[in-house]
Amino acid sequence: MRKPNIVGIAGAAVLAALSVTLQLLPPLFLTPWFMRIDFVAVPWILAWIFFGFRPAALSLLISVPLVGLLGPFAGGWVGAIMKSAASVWMIAVPAGFACKFGVNRLLHSKWLYALVGLVAVAVRDLATILFNLYFAIPVFFGMTVRQVVEFFSNPVFQSFVGLSLGAAGITAVAVEIAFWNSVQGFIDLYVALALGLAVLRRLKIRPAS
């Protein structure tokens, strides 16, 4: 893949600024364990659609330090790492599939995009379960892994998902983290797709190859 050109770098910077602006807004939803549901990662995916993978990665790297510091429930450096570790799959997995099928075909085939979305979200879910269990929550709240499991088993700290399933133990950890990361992942992918296609059609240009 070719290096980002000046247009890609400029686009990455603009979309990074948009991501930080979205971080300043209140989240759409906040889980009992302080995960934000928001639109912060949408500009990073748009950067991939418009300019390619490297500008998208650059956009993420530029904005994520501020994403971890600014806005309600930002999460500091732990939040910045977790947002990156979760959101990068929303770019990397589609970019990987695009190497085989092409970006244009990927964006315009609803079945292919849905398949790619499922794979990306599944990878994201696995990554975030491991990161939250062994890194983010233990560091952020000063807990051991055992205490994290107990935390998620307590109905006081469960969302309606865990409560409705009566989840406990490691199952409660996996259910809560996977469900909300799936919600966030599909928001990221499909909001970015709708906005990206609208812009591309308006300007009558092809997506980045």
Nearest to 137 by CA among 167, 166, 157: 157
Q: Domains in the chain, ordered, with CATH? A: 6-203 (1.10.1760.20)
- Write down the pLDDT at residue 166: 79
- Write down the pLDDT at residue 74: 86
Nearest to 98 by CA among 12, 90, 202: 90
Q: What is the pLDDT along the chain (209 residues), one digit of tens a residue?
A: 445 589 899 999 999 999 999 999 999 999 888 899 999 999 999 999 999 999 999 999 999 999 999 988 888 999 999 999 999 999 999 999 999 999 999 999 999 999 999 999 999 999 999 999 999 999 988 999 999 999 888 887 777 777 777 778 899 899 999 999 999 999 999 999 999 999 988 877 777 76
- Write down the pLDDT at residue 2: 47
Yes or no: say if 110 and 117 are a contact pair by the CB < 8 Å rule.
no
Nearest to 44 by CA among 192, 184, 185: 192
pTM across the whole model: 0.92
- Write down the pLDDT at residue 4: 56
Q: Would you state the structure tokens that stand for residue 77, as one six-digit string?
A: 């450096």
